[in-house]
Every structure is written in C-alpha cells, then in structure tokens.
C-alpha cells in the first residue's frame, strides 16, 4: 500500500469533484479523524490515518484491502468510482435526483433513470454533472451522470433519459464475484 502520486491524486480528485465539488476538503481535512487515500494494486482506498499507519507493518502481498474502496484505476490510467464509495458521495453530494418507487427496480437492475421515474431533482443541475440517485425515502441507490440539465429535463418526453447510470447498489449482487477482486 502506498500514497497516491500527484498525477493519480489529480485524476481521483477530478472524478470526485464531479460528484461532490469543493466538499472534497471535508473528506481530507477532518481534524478529529483524519483520513488519507492509499493505493493497493490498482484500487484506491479511503483510510483513517491511524489505521493507515498501523497497516505499514503488513507486507503488500498479504494485504487484501483496507478502509473503504473508492474505486480503481483502469489500465489506461482513468479512475472508475465503485459503488462502495456511495456512502461518502451521498453525504457530500452537490446534485441529487430522487426516483419514484416504480423506477427503483429498473435502476437497480442497471438501467438509466428516465423522466417518467423522476420524483424530484435538485435545481440547477448542469448537463454531464455527477448526480446521486435516491429513492423517495432518501435512501441512496447509486450515482450517475446527468444527461440533461434540470431545465431541459422538464421539457423531456417521459421515455427520455435524465441520468446515465454509473453504479447502483444492485451491483453488490450482480457483481459479487468480481467487486472486491
């Protein structure tokens, strides 16, 4: 396990900024319980500093994971967020979309969010911004990228896509063999 390089940190923070904006500072600058990002193999973990220091005495081949897996680097150097980061993304999210009960199951099966399934959404969501998808009971279900801005989404057909799905909690079941390997 090692610290992220400057380039890796830049790529991770750019991806996180798309979803939580300037709230990235709240992830790192927690005075009571400071956290750090660490890289193990190709995965990025969000770890309390105290535990990260204790983990330095464990050999890299013997360490499978530590903390919360935020995502992984692809072979091309891009960063892909995992569903395991949803707890932190939903806490600090800038833009949110709530879907009705009839739209929850299609979303959890891996489909995009349609206009007909939208219960409410944050004001002033720009096009191609990171959004967190919630049920109408404020349970975070996943995250994605807005296909249209809030204003354009209001004039959309009921079958039009409002949010492209990036990840949802259904992945815990669909990808259970490969999610943590």
Ordered per-residue pLDDT tens for the chain, 181 residues: 889 999 999 999 999 999 999 989 888 888 888 999 999 888 999 999 999 998 888 888 888 888 999 999 999 999 999 999 999 999 999 999 999 999 999 999 999 999 999 999 999 999 999 999 999 999 999 999 999 999 999 999 999 999 999 999 988 888 877 776 6
The residues near 40 (Cβ < 8 Å, ≥ 6 apart) are: 1, 60, 63, 65, 66
Q: What is the pLDDT of residue 62?
A: 85
Quick one: pLDDT at residue 169?
A: 92
130 with 145: CB under 8 angstroms? Answer: yes
- The Cα 113–Cα 111 span in angstroms is 7
Q: Residue 85's pLDDT is what? A: 93
Beta strands in 130-171 (DSSP E): 130-135, 140-146, 161-168
- 93-174: which CATH number, 3.60.21.10, 1.10.150.80, 2.30.130.10, 2.40.110.10? 2.30.130.10
Q: Tell me the sheet residues that pair with 69.
A: 45
- CATH topology identical between 2-88 and 93-174: no
* Euclidean distance between CA atoms 112 and 163, whole angstroms: 6
- Alpha helical stretches, state H, 72-175: 86-91, 101-108, 150-154, 171-174
| Tally of CB atoms within 10 A around 123 | 8
Residue 55 burial by Cβ neighbours in a 10 Å radius (0-12, 13-18, 19+): middle
What number does CATH give the domain 2-88? 3.10.450.220
Domain ranges across the chain: 2-88, 93-174
Measured CA to CA, the distance from residue 163 to residue 175 in angstroms comes to 22
DSSP string, 8-28: HHHHHHHHHHHHHGGGHHHHH
The pLDDT score that the predictor gives to residue 180 is: 67
In order of 49, 134, 147, the CA distances from 64 in angstroms are 18, 31, 36
Please answer whether residues 1 and 60 qualify as being in contact, where contact means their C-beta atoms are separated by less than 8 angstroms.
Answer: yes
Q: CA 162, 164, 166, 167 torsion: positive or negative?
A: positive
């Amino acid at each position: 396990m090692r610290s992220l390089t400057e380039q890796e940190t830049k790529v991770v923070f750019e991806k996180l900024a798309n979803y939580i904006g300037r709230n990235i500072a709240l992830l790192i600058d927690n005075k009571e319980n400071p956290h750090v990002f660490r890289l193990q193999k190709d995965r990025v973990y969000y770890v309390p500093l105290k535990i990260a220091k204790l983990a330095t005495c464990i050999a890299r081949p013997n360490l499978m994971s530590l903390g919360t897996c935020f995502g992984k680097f692809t072979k091309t150097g891009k960063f892909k967020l995992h569903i395991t980061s949803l707890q932190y993304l939903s806490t600090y999210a800038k833009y949110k979309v709530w879907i009705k009960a009839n739209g929850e199951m299609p979303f959890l099966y891996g489909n995009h969010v349609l206009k007909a399934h939208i219960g409410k959404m944050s004001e002033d969501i720009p096009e191609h911004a990171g959004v967190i998808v919630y049920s109408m009971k404020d349970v975070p279900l996943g995250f994605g990228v807005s296909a249209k801005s809030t204003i354009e989404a209001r004039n959309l057909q009921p079958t039009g896509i409002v949010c492209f799905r990036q990840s949802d909690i259904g992945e815990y079941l669909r990808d259970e063999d490969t999610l943590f390997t």
